[in-house]
Structure 1
């Protein structure tokens, strides 16, 4: 019996870059296998500030190409996934003694005009009055500016890219590590380890894409026996979440004396997200957590501008991630470029390694990756993702509110908050989850936060969910509304659900 044909691409890493490359490649007809040692978006890609943005602060470092590309992608992604990406207005108070007003005005002018695409409103000068946008701020902050960017459900963006890749023929393997790979017979032979069953198997692939994020250099040296040429610089970014600090759907971008900026963003209706830090990370690339010093720093950033002071006791949740940035020899962690570098080793069957990058530009990064691999993939089809909606994103006219009204009319048994959460998470695919349900009872056993047995079954069957954390923190943020007993009950139900799954 002959050996099966090798995969065209073996993608290592189930973060946003790996999922984006797998989707693009599968849509061009390539045979793709993606392996992720944990869950999709388990590390860096779920630890972002949840923004699709050009990166206003990158203008200070003259990264005009990166900002222009990111702004164009911001407009594009908003059209392709309006259920998980939507506009967000930012208020930037002018803080005397820091950046002068003329500099802020110039930066915002460039931000408005670096791209010809203008779906979002431009910037404007503001008077920050106590009964308006200045309400949560200290009285000394009376002037400022407003501009637009977008919010994104980051881990769902990863899952939807993987889902689309799978529907276009890619094989997605979570809880599966690539232990080793070697070049032989004109292709790569890789040993995979299934973390759930303990089984090992060998697969062959013509090309490896190393999108292992913080593990990119480690994967090259340990698994592929290749010395990394570009160097990765690990930077830890942490965020805190508090009870809601102010009314309104707008965010604040707050300047700091160390020239960093910190965001305060409405989060999951009842909370405020605050971040991020930029701390050099000298440890391993594995899971990280916020330090007491980082927590105090973020609280102090808020207290410098907001009238209501907060402290560590006000933090209801925190999360941290390690960013695998390309080492451009910048002196401070916050100054390291967020641009990406694609390193191709073609001394035999190729391996393409991804260094750096940001969530906003993942789609263009995937296109550029396949451009680099084009000489090794004769007959590669043309790029296609610029106009292809992500799963659930084919909302008529991009009008999410109209879609939500229609859902509520068709499914009147759904409470308003639940209908909105499901529409945001699943978009036009929400009916695949709801099926023939006509009452809340039809959705099965209820869990905390509005989760139901039917949604759990859908996430196991369609979105690779395997653990309570997969569901409560990456497929949703219902962990904010679920206590310890609720997690334990979900874990018991999930074990039964997975045992019954095909």
Structure 2
């Protein structure tokens, strides 16, 4: 199903995790694909998550058993496919008798352990927080706790690796290029893309349009395609704060609040902690979302309720906020709005379908992608079967999906590479670290140093192979170097990036 006469099978709008996942799956099935993103890959919701591959323990309270089971199964699949950017994490849940009763928590954790056929991750255990080392930072009034497993993920890199795999399988990926018009013309779609930098119009013809625009999904249907939909997304804002890590150990924490919401306190970037999230209705433009003072106060209060070390707003290193485009199921409580996904297929006379995706979550993006392609199978009867459940993402093809073994092999091969830099390259790039290092035989060969671990060779690698164009692309999404650099270092790096773009 390769492109014929300039006509592609799928034109995908939106470079978040769902768009990139569908592009990868479709390209791997031999379909011709164009992915169009108006900004950078993962610039919106998909880089502003809690950075977890998890089943959604709290969704059990809302009877989302199908979603939780699917997410738990996917947790194992994704862990196998990308062990460099996804890894197990243990979560400690201090119990408060004034919130959910202990029997309900135990029941939820029992279901969590068994609903998805857990294989690789250790199960739940009960903790005496008065004696267990995990209880050291917790206030003495919380004596009982539970510990369970989920996984960490570098969300922005998950999107990038799906787009990269799609590209390597033949898909065209256009960043900073908006889809400005979509119109049916018989059995095809006439599409116009507009480059952000030049304003150049690029015409495209496609057999099917896939709308994964996230918070903008209804805007694409109405303004860009000139159609109507009976479905809507409900925008819910989730904010996070980042502070210096204030406990010993690699474990994360999950705390309950009297309003039944839960807050994650996760180790982040070795010496930092990521705290979130809030769940509040959002009415503004998705582009303008940011954490407000009341959300920051809510998160700090939630942490201070449980931990001996008390946080203040002055401890915050960084904050970010994302808009979750949840399918509007009319739930009154934003936390109860379904995290499941819904598809809508708009077709005329059995051809030229427009597939729109409503909702979804990071953990289930791969399964969502499979289901999306099954929805349009009637229009592509020769479509191959799904394959992504057994395919490693770029860099994840390490023996036995064993990150520690790969890191050891990397250090043995490049003995001149310091441990912190070797681990950074292994974590972000996996087996692609060899391509990044290239012919370098010493640290000096990696070029100018911009910050603690950021060197010129890595920045050029990101520009050449991962669609990075701006300092923010590199410092915030491709990596998290920006969190560890001074303002002066960031300014100097921005000047270097500008010089590179002029020279290109």
- TM-score by length of structure 1 reads 0.98
> Which range is displaced more, 405-414 or 422-431?
405-414
- After superposition, the C-alpha distances for 1:206-237 in whole angstroms (9 at most, x for unaligned) are 10000001000111110001112211100010
> Which range is displaced more, 387-396 or 342-351?
342-351
Is the counterpart of residue 438 in structure 1 residue 441 in structure 2? yes
> Which range is displaced more, 130-139 or 460-469?
130-139
How does 1:62-461 map onto structure 2 within 5 Å?
Answer: 62-129=63-130, 132-347=133-348, 349-461=352-464
Quote the offset at 1:5 in angstroms: 2.5
> Which range is displaced more, 58-67 or 114-123?
114-123
Aligned to 2:491: 488
Quote the offset at 1:449 in angstroms: 2.5
SS in 2 for 1:57: helix
Equivalents in 2 of 1:324, 1:75: separation in Å? Answer: 25
Quote the offset at 1:109 in angstroms: 0.5
Equivalents in 1 of 2:20, 2:462: separation in Å? Answer: 17
- TM-score by length of structure 2 reads 0.98
Contact conserved, 2:26 with 2:33, CA < 8 A, in 1? yes
Contact conserved, 1:460 with 1:498, CA < 8 A, in 2? no
Equivalents in 1 of 2:238, 2:416: separation in Å? Answer: 41
Equivalents in 2 of 1:381, 1:499: separation in Å? Answer: 43
SS in 1 for 2:11: strand
Contact conserved, 1:287 with 1:321, CA < 8 A, in 2? no
Equivalents in 2 of 1:116, 1:401: separation in Å? Answer: 25
Contact conserved, 2:241 with 2:319, CA < 8 A, in 1? yes
**Gap regions ≥5 residues in structure 1:** none
Quote the offset at 1:287 in angstroms: 3.5
> Which range is displaced more, 279-288 or 155-164?
279-288
CA gap 1:287/1:4 in 2 versus in 1, 3 angstroms:
farther
Quote the offset at 1:376 in angstroms: 0.6
SS in 2 for 1:389: coil
Contact conserved, 1:240 with 1:274, CA < 8 A, in 2? yes
Equivalents in 2 of 1:499, 1:80: separation in Å? Answer: 37
Aligned to 1:468: 471
Contact conserved, 1:207 with 1:350, CA < 8 A, in 2? yes
SS in 1 for 2:396: coil
Quote the offset at 1:131 in angstroms: 6.1
Quote the offset at 1:414 in angstroms: 1.4
- After superposition, the C-alpha distances for 1:405-424 in whole angstroms (9 at most, x for unaligned) are 11111112211111111100
- After superposition, the C-alpha distances for 1:371-405 in whole angstroms (9 at most, x for unaligned) are 00000112001101000000000111111111111
Quote the offset at 1:130 in angstroms: 5.6
Equivalents in 1 of 2:416, 2:214: separation in Å? Answer: 43
Aligned length: 499
SS in 2 for 1:214: helix
Aligned to 2:24: 23
- After superposition, the C-alpha distances for 1:70-122 in whole angstroms (9 at most, x for unaligned) are 00000010000000000000001110111111111111110011022421011
Contact conserved, 2:7 with 2:206, CA < 8 A, in 1? yes
SS in 2 for 1:325: strand
Equivalents in 2 of 1:367, 1:310: separation in Å? Answer: 43
Equivalents in 1 of 2:5, 2:202: separation in Å? Answer: 13
SS in 1 for 2:452: helix
Cα root mean square deviation, aligned: 1.1
